Structure 1
Amino acid sequence: MSFDPTAVETITVDSYGTLVDPAAVERTLETHVDDEHVQSVSNQWRSRSLMYTMVSNFTDSYQPFYDMNRDALRVALAGHGVDLDSETIEEILASYHDLDPFEDVRSGLAAIADAGYDVFVVSNGNPDMLESMVETADLESVLSGTISADEIRTFKPDSEIYRHAAARTGTPIESIAHVAGPTFDVQGAMHAGMQGVWINRTGGIWDPFADEPNLTIKTFDELAVELGV
């Protein structure tokens, strides 16, 4: 189904890789890991942390995302024979609290918010991660609030987190457009009843088994145009 801007009352957005650029995390990793291993460690860390969140949804083994992210990093490092002490691992993890927004985020979300739309972050990140993200990226003026998976102890793409977001924003779920870079997040939102907007900055490939997103954009400025702002 194509995007219907007239049905949209509220915008929800993902956080890491959607609002803020996690590249700084990899740069921190580079100071402690040999160049030949950095990319592989980074990729395994990311994929394993996502795997942990999804497995936990089915095994009742919830932990806050920050803790799962730490465990995933330890495994990725060990798998490449990299031995770092706990203090260094915490230093790498702390880079998640100091990420810059993508260039289009402030201008695009400001236009959307100025047009009267409430914009909420819906994220797997735990509350202190989201608080520091919003503050560091200077997004307070364009956001109406943040909604964390920690509030209901389940992760995306479980439909419950999107339903929880609808309840928290006071918006019928079919009147929400959810914007995300990760394709599984867009799919989860659509499955729950939201309109799904894929922000594809890198020219990625949509998952062929899934229904097409309602809308594909490269920037939040494009979303503002699609909304008629």
Structure 2
Amino acid sequence: MSFDPDAVATVTVDSYGTLVDPSAAVDALDAHVEDTDSISDLWRTKSIEYTMVGNFVDAYQPFYDMNRDALRYALSAHGVDLDDETVEEILAVYHELEVFEDVRDGIERLIDGGYPVYVVSNGNPEMLDSMVDHAEIGDLIEDAISAHEVRTFKPDVEIYRHAAARTGTPIESIAHVAGPPFDIQGSKHAGMQGVRLDRTGDPWGSFGAEPDLTVESFYEFADALGV
């Protein structure tokens, strides 16, 4: 399927890695461990795994708690024992992530073009509130929609359907912008147009539906919408 800009009435965006840069969490980890890259990669993988498994076994807990469990697993798997205070210090960085440089101007173009913009994220409300405040994008975002509201994580179709209801937009009239393939595929499966924001240059896998559009920045997405 190719991208249809004329069908878009509302834009939803993912949070971490799309609006804000989570690499500061890696830097915080680096201050306490030696094998930073390996631990960080496992932390991220387990965090996603736990949310998806939680969906299937009815074991929901807020994403911040999932992220803590994933971090503790990654540390344990590498034989690292950090005290609770240090673990919380590392996790707290998620409340103070920096916005990517294209976000403000790019989203302003979307707004000026008549497109309301909402965050749709696995993050729990406290994480999203602090993310928006620290990044100073509250004036750009209509609202932040959390997985906590439906107690299920991406890529479950329920969160995208909930987002459509919260925005008051037919789901087929929403373009969802995100980096992770599972988020793109989930949004498409629910009926949205999936726009991949590829900041890393990672290849798209051979499994599942491809994005309707791939861009490198919010500027390029605004171009695709003609605004």
**Alpha-carbon separation, structure 2, partners of 1:85 and 1:69:** 16
TM-aligned CA deviation for residue 203 of structure 1: 1.1
TM-aligned CA deviation for residue 202 of structure 1: 1.4
TM-aligned CA deviation for residue 49 of structure 1: 0.6
**Alpha-carbon separation, structure 1, partners of 2:211 and 2:78:** 37
Residues 24-79 of structure 1: per-residue CA shift (max 9 Å, x gap): 00000011112xx1001100000001000000000000000000100111111011
- 1:104 is matched with 102
Paired letter, 1:127: P
Q: Give percent identity, aligned residues only.
A: 65
Task: Report 1:49-68 matches (<5 A).
Answer: 49-68=47-66
TM-aligned CA deviation for residue 141 of structure 1: 1.4
- 1:219 is matched with 217
Paired letter, 1:15: S
**Alpha-carbon separation, structure 2, partners of 1:46 and 1:209:** 20
Paired letter, 1:55: V
Instruction: Find the residue that maps to 2:21 and give its secondary structure.
Output: coil
**Alpha-carbon separation, structure 2, partners of 1:200 and 1:56:** 27
Residues 10 and 119 of structure 1 are in contact (CA less than 8 Å); yes or no, is this contact kept in structure 2?
yes
Q: State the TM-score, normalizing by the size of structure 1.
A: 0.98
Q: Any unmatched runs of 5+ in structure 2?
A: none
**Alpha-carbon separation, structure 2, partners of 1:204 and 1:90:** 30
The RMSD of aligned alpha carbons is 0.6
**Alpha-carbon separation, structure 2, partners of 1:19 and 1:28:** 19
Instruction: Find the residue that maps to 1:83 and give its secondary structure.
Output: coil
- 1:136 is matched with 134
Task: Report 1:89-100 matches (<5 A).
Answer: 89-100=87-98
Instruction: Find the residue that maps to 2:64 and give its secondary structure.
Output: helix
Number of residue equivalences:
227
TM-aligned CA deviation for residue 114 of structure 1: 1.7
Instruction: Find the residue that maps to 1:179 and give its secondary structure.
Output: strand
Matched, 1:2 2:11: no
**Alpha-carbon separation, structure 2, partners of 1:209 and 1:132:** 35
Residues 173-208 of structure 1: per-residue CA shift (max 9 Å, x gap): 000000000011000000000000000111111121
